[in-house]
Amino acid sequence: MKKNLLILLSLLTLIFSCGKVKEHENTLEDKIAKSGIYYEIFVRSFADSNGDGIGDLNGIKAKLPELKELGVEGLWLTPIFSSPSYHKYDVTDYYNIDPEYGTIEDFKELVKSSHDLGIKVIIDLPVNHTSSEHPWFKDVVSNKDSEYRKFYRIEKNDNPNIDFKAAPLGGTAWHKLNDEEKYFGIFWGGMPDLNLEEKEVRKELHKISKFWVDEVNIDGYRIDAAPHAYGKGEYSKEINVLEANLKWWSEFRNELIKTKKDIYIVGEVWTAPEIVAKYFTVFDSNFNFELSENGIFNALIRESARELSSKLTRVYGLYEKSNAEFIDAPFLTNHDQSRLSEKLPDLERQKVAASILLTLPGNPYIYYGEELGMKGRKPDELIREPYIWNDELQTSWEAIELNTETVDYHSQKNNPDSLLNHYKLWINIRKENDEIRYGKFEAVETDNNKVFAYKMKYKESEKLLLHNLSNKEQKVNIEGKEYLLNSYESKVI
């Protein structure tokens, strides 16, 4: 009887463990190996090697010396797969480079040249959906008996278990396929969502992710729209969307590390920090939207250090509960947001924002052109204007509208007081101080709300960081010692 009971308990343990997410946790060694300063490149806008006006992979390769000089240690390339759109988040072929950007051979050369300079390369992976022009979906539209119907979320109009009025992102998510059926596309009808309940789909996505690691030796992925893999309103109400997403991304990671053990994965989880924290059990990093949207900007506009200190202490505490050695991915703006200079038009506050970004924990991400003070606001095309090189690699796929007065790269390089050289300075400061590069954040209470103060602690050492958020000289007393900071000055002590 006792033996039978032990067997039963063992079986129950096995059953429950099979349904549980295998949590990922970094070690300090992982954190150190995967650390770096990343630079997001909207490929179409960066550098044009063949004179067609469109940025391409060879253009990026030609500009690697400039990126190395800036201090960049990793590149994040927005989607480069075959696609009918200018942004290429709607893919038609996951196994090929879009001809506008080059070839697989060009990509291999870019990755190799980057690695030779000590620069890692990660690429955007949009697998929540495909393009409606993808051969799979086109076959579904033209053939009611298509073998690819199961690849997409297609439901009969009268299915009572589906909420066809669901609008998780504001607009309708269910779109007409034919008179009897609808398909789910959380972003819009041109991006039909893949069906992750289908094993063949998951198998294909594993194959895609491994292909680029094997074929080109990339260093990792930026996961687009991670919390929408199982979208709200996409499946029946019995499915717990958060649990389903975490289980899927855990499976994705565990398969991928069979090909590359030290793969680096950063997730786009654009939601509340409490939810973002949970994704540190499946990804190495997650973008810190709370810092980007409600953190550094607000602190500088309101001149309120305590608000930012409190926010970061809370967010980092949430993250640490999920993964003790979490690798944050702080950033100021990205390709979906108005640029830094729209909220902070004056150069001095942009410099302070950069200094703060580059002295916080994790892997800071710089959006291309941020280091030049490029302007950009909605619609999206104006957030993605051509980088201002003013040389033979200048792109021109769209007219420069907001950045006609932005000082170009070469002019800023020769100006010691430029924003570009400010970024170089603080990138070097970060690299030279392990406390900042690998350390943990500890807020410091002060008698002056206009000074953002914190310590970065690593092993037995620490650095004190001070940032004056105002345009006036400030004094601050910390642990019995008084410090003087000039207008918008940042210090490492």
Contact 290, 328 (CB under 8 A): no
d(CA 348, CA 209) in angstroms, rounded, equals 42
Residues contacting residue 425 through CB under 8 Å, at least 6 positions apart: none
Q: Is 224 one of the catalytic residues?
A: yes
| Helix, strand and coil percent figures for the chain, each rounded to 5 | 40, 15, 45
- Which has the closest alpha carbon to 149: 157, 138, 165, 164? 138
Residues contacting residue 332 through CB under 8 Å, at least 6 positions apart: 292, 296, 340, 353, 354, 357, 366, 367, 370
- Active-site residue among 155, 224, 303, 435? 224
3-state secondary structure (DSSP) of residue 316: helix
d(CA 77, CA 39) in angstroms, rounded, equals 8
Q: How, if at all, do strands 81-82 and 74-77 pair?
A: unpaired
* Edge-to-edge strand list for the sheet holding 285-286: 285-286, 264-267, 220-223, 120-125, 74-77, 38-41, 365-367
Give how far the C-alpha of residue 8 lies from the chain's centroid of Cα atoms, to the nearest Å: 45
**How many CB atoms are located within 10 Å of the residue 458 CB?**
18
* Enclosing H/E stretch for 205: helix 199-216
d(CA 357, CA 305) in angstroms, rounded, equals 14
Q: Is 48 one of the catalytic residues?
A: no
Query: 16 vs 20, 202, 385, CA distance in Å?
Result: 7, 22, 51
Tell me the residue type at 465. L
Q: Show which residues are catalytic.
A: 224, 268
